[in-house]
Structure 1
């Protein structure tokens, strides 16, 4: 699925989900378009999820408004070409920080695997006896490298971040990441959702201001679990692409994850259930009806 051609804009980059364009008339802004592409196991799948880009854009916009007192964000305008209306925003061009900033309030995923081996996550010691889905004594900052598309991000400790960006900026990134997580976790819990962890990205303005960028607190960048179903000690139900992952790893897909072949197209049922899950997350969190 190639990025669409947009009159007045030049396509400059495509990630797993988002496409970036530069307006012809100025170079201090970018058009950020959230596509309907979906990725799993470091593959961009051939089958899109209808409305996914609109959900991610609308959810990020809602969260940016909830976080304005904590950190400025990169959004300049929602006045975008009609072809990408609802799934694009005009943003500031920033010098992006080359570290993935992750906050965890619960133990799962790669953090759980590291804890089982070392009793810690990103060099932060954790209490004994934690299981999959355990709530941590307090949220922790667990950064990763920012790997090129198709490669895995790697967990790093805070010392790595200090060396990469300097001690002062590293401390600011940790503080802001944990503040964003705390605000998101509190709002989500009021709405019956557990925010287990989240990844946020920051950029720098020329004057040194740290700015929240890309997306924020969406099912693509966060783990959301239904609070009523949260039960430590097992894998949790989630508001994201778990239907996609489960089908790809099932015998029904016929896909060998360890092989060289790309994943097969998704069945209609998996597509629709995944779309419904994204919309459900948006409506529960925001209290709004998805148009």
Structure 2
């Protein structure tokens, strides 16, 4: 990931790490501050252009989903009482020992899963029926883990057995079962609101302290348009690229003649036009409002 800007200085917090969108700070022993910026990434670049309010939308959506899932798995959020400079787009969270695996659930075939299927008939070692196309609903949701890539690299799909060899069979089973359980709950809630949750990724860790040390906890963001593929249910049509509630508008513009950018050149993408910024922001807001029933 190229050109991630310096994280802002926050009084009383020590900067630890910056990712594509989030900045992580240490507050004290056991507590971190996770800040969602308005950055947006595409094709392994963090773009120079920001999407206004994106960080707040992602934070509020994650908090809403954590509430919907609280009876299935605990989460890392401790408080939303955060420094004024990042109010509304940050949470105080519990420090966890994170598992080195992206826990991906797929209910539909698209993206990297589709590419794997087209070349092998499988996704992450799971054989799928013949004749599936882009957007096909799978017979049942599947767990398709990926390795966590360094910034600038793609996550790489791996088999379940690779996860077993990395973290042990008991932990792998727990993560697989939780991933599919959470996906089922989220898919049902989204479907009631006219939205298909095609696929999503979760990150889990274990508690480090106290009587609950070792318990599995859901961390990072959850079920946002950045970590999930949401489609309008009434527009779903297998066999073509689906309309989605995410940054597809940005990707489409960057690869169109209008942008003047050659993806294969290695050059940084150009700044986004105001119209693309506003359309992208509107898409994020629409997803938030449809799912949560709240007004942004």
Query: What TM-score, normalized by structure 1, do the two folds share?
Result: 0.98
| Residue of structure 2 in register with 1:189 after alignment | 191
Q: CA deviation at 1:214?
A: 0.3
Give distance in 2, aligned partners of 1:12 and 1:208. 23
Task: Show structure 1 runs of 5+ residues with no match.
Answer: none
**In structure 1, the residue corresponding to 2:82 is in which secondary structure?**
coil
Give distance in 2, aligned partners of 1:116 and 1:151. 22
Q: Does 1:246 align with 2:224?
A: no
**Which segment drifts farther, 249-258 or 160-169?**
249-258
Q: Does 1:157 align with 2:163?
A: no
Give distance in 2, aligned partners of 1:151 and 1:240. 20
Aligned partner of 2:15 among 7, 11, 15: 11
Runs of 4+ in 1 over 4 A off after TM superposition: none
Cα RMSD over matched residues? 0.6
| Residue of structure 2 in register with 1:237 after alignment | 243
Task: Show structure 2 runs of 5+ residues with no match.
Answer: none
Q: Does 1:49 align with 2:51?
A: yes
Aligned partner of 1:22 among 26, 40, 54: 26
Query: What TM-score, normalized by structure 2, do the two folds share?
Result: 0.96
Give distance in 2, aligned partners of 1:126 and 1:18. 35
| Residue of structure 2 in register with 1:281 after alignment | 287
Q: CA deviation at 1:2?
A: 2.5
Give distance in 1, aligned partners of 2:135 and 2:169. 32
Q: CA deviation at 1:270?
A: 0.5
| Residue of structure 2 in register with 1:216 after alignment | 222
Equivalent residue runs for 1:56-75 within 5 Å? 56-75=58-77
**In structure 2, the residue corresponding to 1:233 is in which secondary structure?**
coil
Deviations 1:139-193 (A, max 9, x none): 0000001010101111100000000100000000000000111011000000000
**Which segment drifts farther, 29-38 or 251-260?**
251-260
Give distance in 1, aligned partners of 2:275 and 2:202. 31
Equivalent residue runs for 1:2-151 within 5 Å? 2-23=6-27, 26-151=28-153
Give distance in 1, aligned partners of 2:202 and 2:18. 19
Give distance in 2, aligned partners of 1:258 and 1:181. 35
Give distance in 1, aligned partners of 2:157 and 2:109. 14
Deviations 1:185-235 (A, max 9, x none): 000000000000000001111221110000000000000000000011110
